Amino acid sequence: MVTQDHKGVMPNLRDTVRQDEASRLASELTQQALLQHGERIRSMVESAHDAVITIDEHGIIESWNGRAEVIFGWRSDEALGQPLSRLIIPEAFRQAHDEGMARFLQTGAGRVLNRTMEVTALTKAGKEVPVELSIWPFRAGSRYMFGSFIRDVSARHQTETRLRMQAEQAIRFRDSLLDLSRLPKTDFNMALDGILRRDADTLQVSRVSFWRFQPAQKSIVCERVYRADAGDFTDGEGVVLYERDYPDYFAAMASARPVVADDALHHPDTRAFAQEYLLPNGVVSMLDTGIWFQGRVAGVLCHEQIGTAHAWSLEEVDYAVAVAGKISLALESSLRAQAEQETLRALTREKELSEVRARFVSIASHEFRTPLSAIKSSVELLKHYGDRLDPAEKAEMFDTIERYVKRMTEMLDQVLQLGKADAGRMEFTPRPLDLEALLRQVIEEVVPRNAPRHRVELRSEGDLRGLHLDERLLRNITTNLLSNAVKYSPDGGVVTVFAGRDGSGVILRIADQGIGIPVADQERLFESFYRARNVGSISGSGLGLAIVKHAVDLHGGSIGVESGSGRGTAFTVVLPLTATE
Ligand code: ADP
């Protein structure tokens, strides 16, 4: 540096020399500073966390920093001189990019300039990555250049996606649990199917099954399996697992600790299943949780993933535990509903019994009082005026007594028979029998040939001999049905009796043209002491059909009625062939 005057040199020349020197020095210093500055900027750009790329107005890359190398995989020497659009812009957006640049050069306006936007960029490996991009144009001498910052936002995207998926999953779990809360649970099997299906769909697992602990808590039995691939259920196929074979698994269940086995083959609680269950079925991950009921573990909810292993998240485990809770609720509700049903049944039985008692009292008082008073007055007449009555009058009175005694005896017989049937002591001894012959006898007994008002027509089809039926019960059936047909046809008419065979068994049909049975009474006809509302003064105990029903049931058959008030009545009895041959 020059700081002194040099004597002997002309002052103005000296000054000029000094000035030149100074300005040279100054310029050197400026250049140095500029170089240093440029170097600093270059190293800043080079070490920046964003890719910094500049391109000329033809889109040719002029600078490409280290981060650009990392993000896009192209080394700087590969990238420089290449058109940017071919290198990092996915094919689909290339044309738009080229057009945008051309538009800017023509008009000075560009939609994508001077702002930050998210776009997809292409790497050397052909992978598309989300990037945040800002581009700005600047003048370099007479031409335009474009600078851009590019930031790889894949990690942020991944986090966002994960958070979004977690939020979606939380909503899915919550909706599913709410729906399962609403699900009716009084019918356990129906509720269970609903729960298993929803559970499998929500957790997207291959199989979900329900296992029930056996009373001694030493084994579990598979009751129901939902298979996601088939979208359907199978029952447990009787698979039983014993504590002695899988002590770790049972201990986990008993301790209310869910078994979370991402790798079921090696998990300490599930590896014992490997040979017999996991490997043959291709099960790789399991998530099992106990189902608790009244303070004890009552079952297991089992999730199985087939094929690709699954790492169960905390949320999934929580969800599975909550679903197990819904099954506990279903167990409880169904048990309560059952208890309520039983109480209701007991109450209904009680009510029916008291109704039967009431009907019995009313029938007995009517059916006994009338004959008893008729017998009493006949006896009194005979006692006091017997010697004054002529033989025909006397005979008539004895007839009356005999008829009424017979009627009461018959009724008592029916009561006894029904008592026997109710106590399950009605015997069933089928023996080969000729049904047609039996019908003829019964018709003869019930409708003596000289009965003027009724005509009985017997029609039969096929060979009715050698049928294995209980003769006593069959007499009961036919006598009751036939006497009713006659009794409830006070104006007479034709009674048809049909007997035949078809594929399903022996058919017996007895039809009349009498008063008929109101539809409203038909359902209860077979209850004891029940009589239809239109019987009027026709006497009866309401026991005959109850006995008939028992006799038909003992044969494993069925009885039906077709009738209507004033339309006649037809009873049809079908006795299965299996019981007859
Ligand atoms: P009952 O001794 O009263 O005849 P049943 O048990 O034999 O008792 O019949 C029950 C009721 O069914 C009868 O009281 C009657 O109301 C009705 N019933 C049965 N058979 C006939 C029929 N053939 N026609 C009309 N009503 C009938």
Nearest residue CA, atom 16 of ligand 1?
532
Q: Which residues contact 14 (CB under 8 A, 6 or more apart)?
A: 5, 6
Task: Say what angle helices 544-554 and 471-487 make with each other, to 10 degrees.
Answer: 150
> Is the CB of 476 inside a 6 Å radius of any atom of ligand 1?
no
Q: List per-block mean pLDDT (blocks of 10 residues) for the chain, which spans 581 residues.
A: 47 72 81 86 88 93 95 96 93 88 85 84 95 89 90 93 94 97 94 97 96 93 94 86 95 92 97 93 96 93 96 96 97 93 92 86 83 91 90 91 90 88 88 94 86 89 91 95 95 94 89 95 92 91 94 95 93 79 45
CA distance 217 to 202: 30
Angle CA 496–497–502, to nearest 5: 125
Residue indicated by tokens 């509720």: 191
What is the chain's length? 581
Q: Contacts by 95-102 with C-beta closer than 8 Å and gap 24+? A: 97/59, 98/59, 101/57, 101/59, 101/146
Inter-CA distances, 528 with 347, 517, 535, Å: 18, 16, 16
DSSP string of 330-380?
HHHHHHHHHHHHHHHHHHHHHHHHHHHHHHHHHHHHHHHHHHHHHHHHHHH
Residue indicated by tokens 């310029």: 27
Q: Which atom of ligand 1 is nearest to the CA of 510?
A: 23
The total of other beta-carbon atoms located within 10 Å of residue 383's CB is 8
What pLDDT was estimated at residue 1? Answer: 42
What residue type is assigned to position 347 of the chain?
L
Residue indicated by tokens 């969800």: 319
Inter-CA distances, 104 with 60, 100, 108, Å: 16, 6, 4
> Is the CB of 243 inside a 6 Å radius of any atom of ligand 1?
no
Tell me the CB-side half-sphere exposure of residue 400, using CA atoms within 13 A: 19
Q: Which residues pair with 220 in a beta bridge?
A: 213, 241
> Is the CB of 545 inside a 6 Å radius of any atom of ligand 1?
yes
What pLDDT was estimated at residue 578? Answer: 61
What pLDDT was estimated at residue 112? Answer: 76
The total of other beta-carbon atoms located within 10 Å of residue 226's CB is 24
Nearest residue CA, atom 21 of ligand 1?
484
Q: Contacts by 284-287 with C-beta closer than 8 Å and gap 24+? A: 284/308, 284/309, 284/310, 285/261, 285/309, 285/310, 285/311, 285/312, 286/259, 286/261, 287/203, 287/205, 287/258, 287/259, 287/260, 287/261, 287/312, 287/316, 287/317, 287/320
Nearest residue CA, atom 20 of ligand 1?
484
What pLDDT was estimated at residue 11? Answer: 58
> Is the CB of 532 inside a 6 Å radius of any atom of ligand 1?
yes
CA distance 202 to 230: 16
Q: Which atom of ligand 1 is nearest to the CA of 489?
A: 24
CA distance 41 to 65: 12
Q: How far does the centroid of ligand 1 lie from the alpha carbon of residue 346, in Å?
A: 28
Q: Is 202 helix (H, G, I), strand (E, B) or coil?
A: helix
Q: How far does the centroid of ligand 1 lie from the alpha carbon of residue 532, in Å?
A: 7
Sign of the four-CA dihedral 217, 219, 223, 229? positive
Whether the CB-CB separation of 476 and 537 falls below 8 Å is answered with no
> Is the CB of 531 inside a 6 Å radius of any atom of ligand 1?
yes
What pLDDT was estimated at residue 523? Answer: 93
Whether the CB-CB separation of 428 and 468 falls below 8 Å is answered with no
